Amino acid sequence: MHNTFIIISYLITSTTLKARYQKRSLAVLMHGIFYERRFIMAIYDPKSLCADEFINDEEIRETLKYAEENKNNVALIDSILQKARPRKTETGCVCSGLTHREASVLLACDIPEKIEEMYKIAEEIKLAFYGNRIVIFAPLYLSNYCVNGCLYCPYHLKNKHIPRKKLNQEEVRAEVIALQDMGHKRLAIEAGEDPKNNPIEYILDCIKTIYGVHHKNGDIRRVNVNIAATTVENYRKLKEAGIGTYILFQETYHKESYLRLHPTGPKHDYNYHTEAMDRAMEGGIDDVGLGVLFGLELYKYEFAGLIMHAEHLEAVHGVGPHTISVPRVKKADDIDPEEFDNGISDEIFAKITACIRLAVPYTGMIISTRETQAVREKLLRLGVSQVSGGSRTSVGGYAEKERPHDTEQFDVSDQRSLDEVVRWLMENDHVPSFCTACYREGRTGDRFMSLCKSGQILNCCHPNALMTLAEYLEDYASPETKKIGYEMIERELKKIPKDKVREIAARNIEQIRSSNRRDFRF
């Protein structure tokens, strides 16, 4: 047995990987021989900490075969849809969710009336657990220096004509003030992977600067972080810095495609990247956000891998992803989406969104300004619970009067102002929420999921959303938006079940309107 371990260790070509896999049990290593950074004959195990086992290629292929064979099996589809429906209980509402195989059957189904039923159930689930609230955030790009060679991103190392830029702390402060003047309270910071230009210390300094800017009535109350996969120690540092959610897009779960799309740089290491969420949770971050970049690989494969990743987190850590993002490949600088032959139509994109909502009912779902107003409007009815607004994807873009394009990571399809987005949401009967209370009250991870599953959203998150909306209306909204907003608040207050909660929320909103008091929360 000892000799077997030496042989397998010898086949691991990367020193970093060797150190990591030597810590694994011999039982895990014996599932297959690791050669040229891939496991052969890995066995599917959602509780494993090995990426090749919890995102198992053979299992995905068998799942897709099963889905194709049963895509017109009406009896099976009806039983899956019935399982997915939200059920009321004495304490709230519960949802079973779906396995990756069950969800893949629905995604494969092309029966029009069954697809419409999926859409209806997706909306029912979203309203049952999140109500008609839509959380609003903005991305903040800190640096586009990057040492990776990702073929779909304009920040790749070989791109010599894109200007490279890294914000200093005064520039970060200027960006934050610009964002606060728009009305934002929640940010997702982004930076390329570059140990020299963007070390963890730089990210931590930026977080400290962001939280330290108090401009007029503005505050950034939650900073989510979207940076490259890193170490447990660095995740602990991010947790100590007070981040909200750690977000990392897988890009693609198809390992062969992943290695081809990431030919150079540390991101080439598929396993290290895919296992990042486990290290983040080990480092104390209990809110993590998944996502794939649809268009890089066949969408049914990606969908199955994404749901399997959510199942893995639930199996190992007792809580699934806090959010799931659904970006699509978009044009940017030297990147042409037409070069990727796995693009998906708006109709397929909507179906994917609905099926994710049915499979992972309690997760927050995010759609960004990569998508047009029309696409976003449709997906809001199918399970999306978070949107970005007034976004700029260039480094230092918010402090500029005109939208700069030279350092954009991708073209922004929805270029409306935050005020226009807020008004649009309300006109479509969605409550724009700038709330960050759960994060600051310690309701994260399984504690947030417990709140969500107990059906207490209307007594907690709903009044918090209305109070933060009142802040926005008083401090930043146009007259038209303000008028529509207070009419909505008056209607929505009546939906709060508990009399005492409703009375406190109404009283706090009146104080927001009549004074500079801010940041009320349940």
Domains and CATH numbers, the chain: 128-415 (3.20.20.70)
Q: Is the pLDDT reported for residue 307 higher than 50?
A: yes
pLDDT grade for 81, boundaries at 50, 70 and 90: very high
Q: Tell me what pLDDT residue 450 has.
A: 75
Contact 361, 97 (CB under 8 A): yes
User: Any bridge partners for residue 39, and if so which?
Assistant: 34
The beta-strand segments (E) located in 236-275 are 246-247
Strands 364-367 and 386-388: parallel
Average pLDDT over the chain reads 89
Q: Tell me what pLDDT residue 440 has.
A: 86
φ, ψ of residue 134 in degrees (nearest 5) = -130, 115
Q: Is the pLDDT reported for residue 149 higher than 60?
A: yes
Which of these ranges, 10-24, 216-230, 459-473, has the smallest mean pLDDT?
10-24
Residue 399 token pair: 């402090």
Q: Tell me what pLDDT residue 31 has.
A: 38
How far apart (Å, rounded) are the C-alpha atoms in residues 513 and 470? Answer: 7
Instruction: Say what percent of the chain tops pLDDT 90.
Output: 76
pTM for this model (two decimals): 0.90
How far apart (Å, rounded) are the C-alpha atoms in residues 329 and 344? Answer: 10
Give the 3-state secondary structure of 356-409.
HHHHCCCCEEEECCCCCHHHHHHHHCCCCCEEECCCCCCCCCCCCCCCCCCCCC
Q: Residue 28's closest CA among 303, 254, 271, 243?
A: 271
The beta-strand segments (E) located in 148-221 are 186-191, 214-215, 218-219
Top pLDDT among 69 and 13 is at: 69
How far apart (Å, rounded) are the C-alpha atoms in residues 488 and 255? Answer: 48
Q: Is the pLDDT reported for residue 140 higher than 80?
A: yes
Which of these ranges, 1-15, 19-33, 71-85, 320-334, has the smallest mean pLDDT?
1-15
pLDDT in tens, 423-459: 999 999 999 999 998 878 888 887 787 777 666 666 7
Q: Is the pLDDT reported for residue 74 higher than 60?
A: yes
Give Cβ neighbours of residue 244 (< 8 Å, ≥ 6 apart): 186, 222, 223, 224, 225, 287, 436, 439
